[in-house]
């Protein structure tokens, strides 16, 4: 086990502009044949990740859990669930990643725990024990109904009755995920102790899950109705504006405590997940100045039904290089096109026939964005969204809201490593979710031997980003959305890279500046952008 601070980076801002590869451990690689991916499997495949040219990995939760929400219901923040291995397996993973030059980021869930966590088991025993107010307990209304109208993300009231305390407890997600009372300093202390536990094992950073859910209005005011904007509503949660049940300004103080704890271990990368509508002010508040988080994870593209120049311009326009109204330096954005909760981007944004070309364009666009970029496992293979029949679903939200909500299982299906092996080489047993024949055909081994594959293209694009500081660290200038064409310039020092993207299936004319073409996508040139074509030009 490593006990030294994770401060070996030459620069205290090693994380700025990095590419991060997200690993969903259940579905990455199974080392023992039980059908579930594990830490040893990740370690065995780190060479593949290193070959992409990413600077860091983000591992979704692998902590002790009853798996009601597949690891996002934590029963012990400081241990590994047996299905994923042991602490020794984690230490071996960190050592191997560091040997390959890869930083290790893990997922911490600070808004809730599992109902099997010892803290909650003690808290629900009575109203006088030491952890009685570590969770959110409220008496019923006089008629026995829940304390207010707050709704859970996964459907139904955000309150469940507990006969032990004769009170309701709050949960913003599953009833098996009781809400922590992060207003309580003792709760913050306990969570920061867990954070330090992993820092002492050599972790380089954290992705902080659902961080804006960590606090709530202590007056428990009812949420108002949400205006009907035409977006389909599949859950009671969708009918409310969540102005009181989440997004409390007190989270900023907790954020500063998190940053202080990380600073004691040197250069640590922290990125906040801040979901919901109109959260840009929160993203900036959590990342402003030098005493808060490194970055915030944007949702602009994760659920977008299509990718357009206007959407990209709008998303990029939120983040500038200018101080905020308080004089604090603005935070640094992080971008992703898909993740463990959001559908595969090629399935959302392109027709079947166009997906190979579109996959190349999407990768080129992602590496050109100002900020940190996240690739979800299998994105480098061009994996498509899988359709999981109801009887094989594991996702509790999809099961509860069938068929009106998109199953997260479709993006969580296992990675195919070798199409010549059963189950694509993911496992020698029965995989916890099935692999589709289409995605098995996209296995990594086959793409290694195909110079034109999405795998090789991903490596090429990430190498381009690393080779040009303008793409990794530069400012974003002259962003224009003209019909299907998106253009902008990335500038760093005396170097500028002009980027142009055709987000349509038709060729378009483009008046590019004079210069050297660094990369051309799908046959694009300086004056004509082929369908789903793009060009990078430097003066």
Could you give the residue numbers annotated as active site?
209, 273
Handedness of CA 383, 389, 394, 395 (dihedral sign): positive
Give the helix/strand (H/E) hosting 283: helix 280-287
CB 156 within 8 A of CB 236: yes
Q: Give CA 100 to chain center in angstroms.
A: 23
Q: Which residues contact 249 (CB under 8 A, 6 or more apart)?
A: 285
Taking the C-alpha atoms of residue 183 and residue 433, their distance in angstroms, rounded to an integer, is 38
Burial class (CB in 10 A: 0-12, 13-18, 19+), 401: middle
* Cα–Cα distances in angstroms (integers) from residue 506 to residues 29, 305, 360, in the given order: 39, 19, 16
Locate 527 and state its tokens.
């004056």
Torsion angles phi and psi, residue 134, rounded to 5 = -80, -15
**Residue 499: CB atoms within 10 Å:** 25
Taking the C-alpha atoms of residue 350 and residue 366, their distance in angstroms, rounded to an integer, is 16
Taking the C-alpha atoms of residue 503 and residue 530, their distance in angstroms, rounded to an integer, is 10
Chain length of the chain: 539
Taking the C-alpha atoms of residue 294 and residue 400, their distance in angstroms, rounded to an integer, is 36
Burial class (CB in 10 A: 0-12, 13-18, 19+), 397: buried
**Residue 179: CB atoms within 10 Å:** 25
Q: Which of 106, 108, 110 is nearest to 59 (CA)?
A: 106
Burial class (CB in 10 A: 0-12, 13-18, 19+), 2: middle
Place of tokens 């007056």: 219
What's the per-residue H, E or C state across 374-395?
EEECCHHHCCCCCCCCHHHCCC
Burial class (CB in 10 A: 0-12, 13-18, 19+), 166: exposed
SS3 212: helix
Burial class (CB in 10 A: 0-12, 13-18, 19+), 280: middle
Planar angle of CA 489, 459, 43, nearest 5 degrees: 130
Q: Which of 331, 321, 268 is nearest to 12 (CA)?
A: 268
CB 499 within 8 A of CB 470: no
């Amino acid at each position: 086990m490593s006990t030294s601070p994770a401060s070996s980076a030459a620069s205290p801002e090693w994380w700025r502009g990095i590419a991060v590869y997200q690993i969903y451990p259940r579905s990455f690689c199974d080392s023992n044949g039980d059908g579930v991916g594990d830490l040893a499997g990740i370690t065995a495949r780190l060479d593949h990740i290193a070959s992409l040219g990413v600077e860091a990995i983000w591992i979704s939760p692998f902590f002790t859990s009853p798996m009601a929400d597949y690891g996002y219901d934590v029963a012990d923040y400081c241990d590994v669930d047996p299905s994923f291995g042991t602490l020794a397996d984690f230490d071996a993973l960190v050592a191997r990643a560091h040997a390959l030059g890869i930083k290790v980021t893990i997922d911490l869930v600070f808004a809730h725990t599992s109902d099997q966590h010892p803290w909650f088991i003690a808290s629900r025993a009575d109203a006088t024990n030491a952890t009685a107010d570590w969770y959110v307990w409220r008496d019923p209304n006089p008629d026995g109904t829940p304390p207010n109208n707050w709704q859970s993300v996964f459907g139904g009231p955000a309150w469940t009755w507990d006969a032990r305390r004769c009170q309701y407890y709050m949960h913003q997600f599953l009833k098996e995920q009781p809400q922590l009372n992060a207003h309580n300093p003792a709760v913050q202390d306990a969570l920061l102790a867990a954070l330090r536990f992993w820092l002492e094992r050599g972790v380089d950073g954290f992705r902080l899950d659902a961080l804006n859910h960590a606090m709530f209005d202590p007056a428990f005011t009812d949420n108002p109705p949400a205006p009907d904007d035409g977006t389909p509503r599949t859950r009671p949660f969708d009918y409310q504006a969540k102005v009181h049940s989440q997004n409390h300004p007190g989270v900023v103080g907790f954020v500063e405590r998190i940053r202080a704890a990380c600073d004691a271990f040197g250069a640590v990368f922290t990125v906040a997940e801040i979901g919901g509508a109109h959260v840009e002010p929160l993203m900036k508040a959590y990342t402003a100045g030098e005493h808060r988080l490194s970055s915030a994870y944007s949702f602009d593209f994760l659920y977008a039904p299509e990718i357009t120049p206007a959407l990209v311009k709008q998303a990029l326009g939120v983040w500038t290089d200018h101080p905020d109204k308080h004089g604090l330096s603005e935070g640094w954005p992080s971008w992703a096109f898909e993740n463990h909760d959001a559908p595969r981007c090629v399935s959302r944004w392109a027709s079947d026939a166009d997906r190979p070309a579109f996959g190349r364009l999407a990768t080129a666009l992602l590496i050109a964005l100002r900020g940190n970029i996240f690739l979800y496992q299998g994105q480098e293979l061009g994996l498509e969204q899988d359709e999981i029949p109801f009887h094989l679903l594991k996702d509790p939200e999809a099961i509860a809201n069938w068929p009106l909500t998109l199953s997260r299982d479709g993006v969580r299906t296992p990675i195919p490593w070798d199409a010549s092996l059963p189950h694509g080489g993911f496992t020698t047993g029965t995989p916890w979710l099935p692999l589709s024949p289409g995605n098995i055909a996209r296995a990594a081994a086959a793409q290694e031997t195909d110079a034109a594959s999405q795998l090789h293209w991903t490596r090429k694009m990430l190498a381009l980003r690393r080779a040009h500081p303008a793409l990794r660290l530069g400012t974003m200038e002259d962003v224009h959305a003209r019909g299907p064409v998106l253009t902008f310039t990335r500038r760093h020092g005396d170097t500028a890279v002009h980027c142009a993207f055709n987000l349509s299936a038709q060729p378009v004319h483009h008046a590019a500046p004079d210069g050297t073409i660094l990369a051309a996508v799908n046959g694009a040139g300086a004056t004509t952008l082929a369908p789903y074509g793009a060009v990078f030009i430097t003066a």
